[in-house]
Amino acid sequence: MGGWNIVYALINFAILAFVLVKFGKKMVVNMINGNRQQISDALDAAKAAGENAQHITETLEDIRAEGQAQSQEIVSQARERSAKSLSQSAQARQELAESRRKQTRQDALSLKRQVLGQLRDEKAEDILSEAGELLKGADYAQARKAMPARFLKALEEKLALTDSDRARLRWGEGLKATLTGAEEIDPEIAGQVRALVERKAGTSVDFETRTEESLIGGLRLQLGDTVYDGSLSYMLSRLGQELESQEDTGEDLAVYFQEKLAAADREPGCFQTGVVLSLADGICRIAGLSDVMAGEMLQFEGGLRGMVMDIEKNTVSAVLLGSYEELHEGAQVRRTGKVMEVPVGEELIGRVVDGLGRPVDGRGALLTTHTRPVESPAPGIIARKPVTVPLQTGIKAIDALVPIGRGQRELIIGDRKTGKTAIAVDTIINQKGKDVICIYVAIGQKESTVAGIVAKLRELGAMDYSIVVSAKASDPAPMLYIAPYTGAAMGEYLMYQGKHVLIVYDDLSRHAVAYRELSLLLHRPPGREAYPGDVFYLHSRLLERAACLNDENGGGSMTALPIVETQAGDISAYIPTNVISITDGQIFLEEGLFNSGVRPAINAGLSVSRVGGAAQPKAMKQFASRLRMDLAQHRELESFAQFGSDLDKATRDALNRGRKLTELLKQKRYDPRTVAEQVVAIFAANEGYMDDLDTGKVPEFERGLTAYAYAQASDLCQAIESGAKLNQDQIGQLRELIEEFKKDFS
């Protein structure tokens, strides 16, 4: 029994050993294989991790290198922009300082001359008065007695018949001669003078002698309307006039007078005179002045000046240029022998003058010595060259739709209070740094309005290259009539010096009204709307003086921006149609657009520039050509859409595009844009980059885009500014630029 137990135990042990060996081996093998696989997987993972770590290290190094390169580029660009900004700022500060130094020197010199002139005038008046009293005394009696003989000798060389004298003799009217002396005239001297006159006339004359103590000494002969004055009183008055016109006469005025008197009494004055017959409303009629010229300047008593307008058989009609309260009937009028002239020259830059070129800004006398006739022939065709250089206004709607070139005449027309003057002033402001001298002629404007414009121009630094000619609403009609011609004379002088000039006439409607008033007072026959028949010639001879001269004539230019006011938008009225036919295009401002918030309120359909397209920058012409068509289509569809609400997608898209373009072309005052800014914004609108924007965000998008373009693509902006046409690569670069900006715009 015990043996069998041992046997069973051994059998069980053998079976257990077999099972353990059989299955344990398999488990161990599986365990080993599993560990081996885990080790292999771990090795593979470690290898992949190493590769990833190496790739990450390389990527980090690339990122670090790229970041360093970008940082260096940003720093370099920032340094360049900073240096450029500092350079521009320093240059601007230097220009401003130089302008202020120049103005200070001019003001100081003007003040010095004004003070010295007042002192000199006071001393001159005293010396003139004392000289007159001294010459009347007994000490100079012998010298006074010798004067008639010297006068007779000078008269033999000077006496001559005028055309009017010969005409009277042909008509059988005869001549009248009057010899006047300060004392009783020696009969022998009187007989010799009479014989001389009759020998020159070839016939007998009505001869008369008179005595006038105010002459002090010497003789005065009047033959017809011509006066030969050898009296001491005339010599003293002439010395006073010479003293006023000269800047420096030396230290001793008494010596100056003595020297002049010694030379003057041997040279009698010769001039034609007339007498005022009637006077009313700035117009006077004068008897005499038989040989006067049309447009000649006349000298009245008290220094008042006038200009001849009408010449009749026995009388002359003249307009009075200034205050005429002290003028009276019977006053003497004297010919000057010169047509109406005004001061001109670069010395007028920064000044405000009246219609005769006299300073009214309180900054002292003008320093120029140059003068130019207010009326002069316009340059001929041979002296001109085509308009090829643009005159940028800085206003998107104008530079894109109705471009203006240097030498062009572009009319600004519209109703009252539609922004006509604002366009002109913004154009003047945009000429800063463009080598253009601006002249603003205010015709019939209120003093407060002109003062506000001048203050704004000074604030923005535009008066450093501008001249303002102001004929106020309170001035008489002759001053309003002459003012634009005064401005044109100033601009012409600079143009013939090779300068580029922009002149604004604000406005010619008031100018035409002033001329109508003068013409009716001169009894000229009224025509259409009571304007005289030559009102067209009035403006044509003014505006034709704007030109672009060829290189043989200096290469200068004068661009004219006349302004005309309409009534209820009627551009078919008399004066608007006249000026439209004279100019090279017009910018029509519509009251409805203005009231709806579109500023500037330019009507794209009625506005046109006939010659400015040749001067438009090529990039602007490249992208703005379809702008007018899109705006016109929008205007037509907008009026059509008011009568229906079911619109197809194409119509809705066209209306949406038109609204974006209209919003884009809006522009605030005193906010000019460069050519590159305008081109980039118009290109973005044409390509549809603004179609999905809210209309109210268009100005923000435009501002951001143009700033981004200057920061990221300065070379492209410079290419646009140079006037070059963009190639396909540059257009592609511009598209990428806009797309990149739009990604970040919200």
- Which of 501, 559, 504 is CA-nearest to residue 346? 501
Is 610 assigned a catalytic role?
yes
Catalytic hit among 610, 635, 669, 735: 610
How many angstroms separate the CA atoms of 736 and 570, rounded?
A: 47
Give the DSSP letter string of 384-453: B----SB---S-HHHHHHS--BTT-B-EEEESTTSSHHHHHHHHHHHTTTTTEEEEEEEEEE-HHHHHHH
How many angstroms separate the CA atoms of 315 and 277, rounded?
A: 9
- 348 near 493, Cβ under 8 Å? no
**CB environment 537-556: b (16+ within 10 A), e (fewer):** ebbbbbbebbbbbeeebeeb
- In one-letter notation, the amino acid at residue 712 is Q
10 Å CB burial of residue 11 (0-12, 13-18, 19+) is: exposed
How many other C-beta atoms are found inside a 10 Å radius of the C-beta of residue 575? 25
- Which of 669, 697, 689 is CA-nearest to residue 741? 689
How many angstroms separate the CA atoms of 501 and 503, rounded?
A: 6
- Which of 401, 449, 446 is CA-nearest to residue 425? 449
Distance of CA 381 to the CA centre of its chain: 24
10 Å CB burial of residue 495 (0-12, 13-18, 19+) is: buried
How many angstroms separate the CA atoms of 511 and 36, rounded?
A: 108
Specify the residue for token string 């010899």.
Answer: 179
Give catalytic residues, as residue numbers: 610
